[in-house]
Amino acid sequence: MVPPERKSVADVLRERAETVRLALDRFLTPPDEPSRDLYEAMRYMALGGGKKLRPVLVLLAAEACGGSADAAMPAACAVEMVHTYSLIHDDLPAMDNDDLRHGRPSCHKAFGEAMAILAGDGLLTEAFAVLASYVPDAVRARRLVAELALAAGAAGMVGGQVADLKAERQRLNDETLLEIIHRLKTARMIEAAAVMGAIVAGASEHFERSLRAYGSHLGLAFQIADDILDAAASTEVLGKTAGKDAAAGKLTYVTCYGIEAARRRARSEADRAIDALGPFDHQADLLGDMARFVVERTF
Amino acid sequence: MVPPERKSVADVLRERAETVRLALDRFLTPPDEPSRDLYEAMRYMALGGGKKLRPVLVLLAAEACGGSADAAMPAACAVEMVHTYSLIHDDLPAMDNDDLRHGRPSCHKAFGEAMAILAGDGLLTEAFAVLASYVPDAVRARRLVAELALAAGAAGMVGGQVADLKAERQRLNDETLLEIIHRLKTARMIEAAAVMGAIVAGASEHFERSLRAYGSHLGLAFQIADDILDAAASTEVLGKTAGKDAAAGKLTYVTCYGIEAARRRARSEADRAIDALGPFDHQADLLGDMARFVVERTF
């Protein structure tokens, strides 16, 4: 098979993010009253800014396994809904208390705290409704629900947020805890996105395992890159409050190891992500490009 | 088939609630660090007080359709996890701001606001993990996820809470809105519990439809009874703050129609629930008893 002409990965990510945004717009069509206000808050965050890295990863992983992006779209949107809910709840005053997200007022600043809690709850629930309603194959739908719920729940992302808040409030500076937080809070969901692409495409166990390893390393690389950007970039560039980690006493790769060691670790995780793509031929080239792209932002 | 010997419905509900509590205890086994604190908060609310009406309804509905309670237990626990999350989030300061639940401090009073938000998020997510991991038949698992997510989400319970807060804050007193709130916020989840019992038992469409109608009427009867109890009973008896609806300007059947009309309506909904059980033989007797039991509490 002749590999398709290569666009820059930034262009591909932008184009694919746009297809995800259109699909989310359809999945989150507001009903008549009484939930119109709620949908407005859900859509504000889900359709607003953001790179849509996770859903695009679902699409690219599915394509790497010979599946179609169309068939992977419900899974992609479900992943993004869960990610969006986590941002909304993390920004709440009782949590990270952040007023800015994607360059705009965060959800509770725009809609009030009660509505933000409920918009998050609504998006989290809707993610599972989408998987159960729009993935035709029941066995795949069930596996997608399990993968997403385990990655997002108490043993994954929610557990990571608990550990993160604990580390912050007790000013803990512990390397083991840092790994746990980064793995649970970010890497596990990015791993799930890659695996869900494999599941929806009906990939073999072998390819699925490769994508799990890829996603796990990519996820760590991404989180370390995010820590570096928080320390190095301005609020204007980030679209969220910069320098906040250090100010809040957050445990990050940069506060723990310094910026140079963090850069080395991010690059090494990206390399390991690319290595994990070994079993794939050129059909996974975009996934490799994506891993490089994620850490290049930090230089 | 000879119908089994009849116990009082109160005894049956208590016994069945205990089996649900044991199963929840297993499903919510705390992992090692770092999520131990989180599980403590999740378990505090899920295993604490409460009648476990919804999960017991799943079990009884499954048995009415010839299924086993054991096979229905994951679905029952999933329903209770979603109900518990909704209580935790509803009690939050930004929402109903309630300090008392099941006769004990509410989750955020006991564990802090951040942990309460995350415990709710964890329980909601875990509900779907349980359905996807412990229901052996993929087609049934997928239908259970869809039923629960649609009942709990923006078009169901979360939407109902939005409408409820709006009515309270704007001091709306509108009969149509009251119906919408009660249907979405409470009745839809009780309906889902009955339907999930049918799904997990592999019931025919005919029986499933009957149970949907039963659950919908039972849910309304239950919510109206709850409104009456809030107006008439003491905080000590309820285990949650009594008289709070009127104080908060909440829109309820009692504030809208008065207590006598509310009682008549509750009884009429219970009668309609029982009528919906027509296609069943004696195997649904307990469901009928439950409908009566729900409204008898109010006299």
User: Residues A189-202: pLDDT tens digits?
Assistant: 999 999 999 999 99
Q: Do B153 and A125 touch (CB under 8 A)?
A: yes
The answer to the question of residue A2 being in a domain is no
Instruction: Sort out which chain A residues have CB atoms less than 8 A from B142's CB and list them.
Output: 132, 138, 141-142, 145
Q: Do B113 and A125 touch (CB under 8 A)?
A: no
The answer to the question of residue B1 being in a domain is no
The alpha-carbon gap from B290 to the nearest alpha carbon of chain A, in Å, equals 29
Structure confidence at residue B251 (pLDDT): 78
The answer to the question of residue B91 being in a domain is yes
Residue B268, classed as helix, strand or coil, is helix
Structure confidence at residue B175 (pLDDT): 80
- Would residue B249 be called left, alpha or beta, if left means φ above 0 and alpha means ψ between -120 and 50 degrees? left
Structure confidence at residue A297 (pLDDT): 76
The answer to the question of residue B4 being in a domain is no
The alpha-carbon gap from B133 to the nearest alpha carbon of chain A, in Å, equals 6
The answer to the question of residue B3 being in a domain is no
Instruction: Sort out which chain B residues have CB atoms less than 8 A from A178's CB and list them.
Output: none
Structure confidence at residue A233 (pLDDT): 72
Q: Do B141 and A143 touch (CB under 8 A)?
A: no
Structure confidence at residue B160 (pLDDT): 93
pLDDT band at A171 (very low <50, low <70, confident <90, very high): confident
Q: Please, which residues have CB within 8 angstroms of residue B178's CB and are 6 or more apart in sequence?
A: B167, B251, B252, B253, B256
Mean pLDDT along residues A57-79: 98
Distance, CA of B264 to CA of B271 (rounded, Å): 11
Structure confidence at residue B198 (pLDDT): 98
Q: Which of B39, B42, B146 sits opposite A132 (nearest CB)?
A: B146
DSSP bridge partners of A101:
A104
Residue A2 has pLDDT above 60, yes or no: no
Q: Which of B85, B133, B139 sits opposite A138 (nearest CB)?
A: B139
Backbone φ and ψ for A101, nearest 5 degrees, come out as -155, 130
Q: Please, which residues have CB within 8 angstroms of residue A113's CB and are 6 or more apart in sequence?
A: A92, A93, B94
The answer to the question of residue A182 being in a domain is yes
Structure confidence at residue A41 (pLDDT): 96
Q: Do B117 and A117 touch (CB under 8 A)?
A: yes
Q: How many residues does chain A have?
A: 299
Query: Residue A89: enclosing H or E segment and its boundaries?
Result: helix A69-91
Structural domain count, chain A: 1
| Residues B266, B225 contacting (CB under 8 angstroms) | yes
The answer to the question of residue A207 being in a domain is yes
pLDDT band at A299 (very low <50, low <70, confident <90, very high): low
Residue A284 has pLDDT above 90, yes or no: yes
Tokens describing residue B60: 């009884």
Q: Which of B35, B128, B181 sits opposite A128 (nearest CB)?
A: B128
Can you give the residue range of the structural domain that contains B217?
Answer: 9-296
**CATH assignment of the domain containing A170:** 1.10.600.10
Distance, CA of A89 to CA of A77 (rounded, Å): 18
Structure confidence at residue B32 (pLDDT): 73
Instruction: Sort out which chain A residues have CB atoms less than 8 A from B162's CB and list them.
Output: 34-35, 37-38, 115, 118
Low-confidence ranges of chain B (pLDDT < 70): 1-6, 173, 234-243, 246-247, 298-299
Q: Do A150 and B129 touch (CB under 8 A)?
A: yes
Tokens describing residue B11: 């005894």
Q: Do B145 and A145 touch (CB under 8 A)?
A: yes
The answer to the question of residue A3 being in a domain is no
Alpha carbons within 13 A on the beta-carbon side of B62: 24
User: What percentage of chain A has pLDDT greater than the value 70?
Assistant: 91
Backbone φ and ψ for B42, nearest 5 degrees, come out as -65, -45
Structure confidence at residue B34 (pLDDT): 72
Q: At what angle do helices A188-200 and A53-64 cross, to 10 degrees?
A: 40
Q: Do B158 and A184 touch (CB under 8 A)?
A: no
pLDDT band at A239 (very low <50, low <70, confident <90, very high): low
State which amino acid sits at residue A225: A
Structure confidence at residue B103 (pLDDT): 87
Q: Provide the mean pLDDT of chain A.
A: 91
pLDDT band at A281 (very low <50, low <70, confident <90, very high): confident
Residue A172 has pLDDT above 90, yes or no: no
Is ipTM over 0.90? yes
pLDDT digits (tens, 9 = 90+) for B245-294: 766 777 788 888 888 999 999 999 999 999 999 999 899 999 999 999 99
Q: Do A141 and B138 touch (CB under 8 A)?
A: yes
Q: Which of B39, B118, B165 sits opposite A161 (nearest CB)?
A: B118
pLDDT band at A102 (very low <50, low <70, confident <90, very high): confident
Closest CA to B264 of B221, B208, B202: B221
Instruction: Sort out which chain B residues have CB atoms less than 8 A from A248's CB and list them.
Output: none
Q: Please, which residues have CB within 8 angstroms of residue B19's CB and are 6 or more apart in sequence?
A: B59, B69, B73
pLDDT digits (tens, 9 = 90+) for A123-153: 999 999 999 999 999 999 999 999 999 999 9
Structure confidence at residue A32 (pLDDT): 73
Q: Do A154 and B34 touch (CB under 8 A)?
A: no
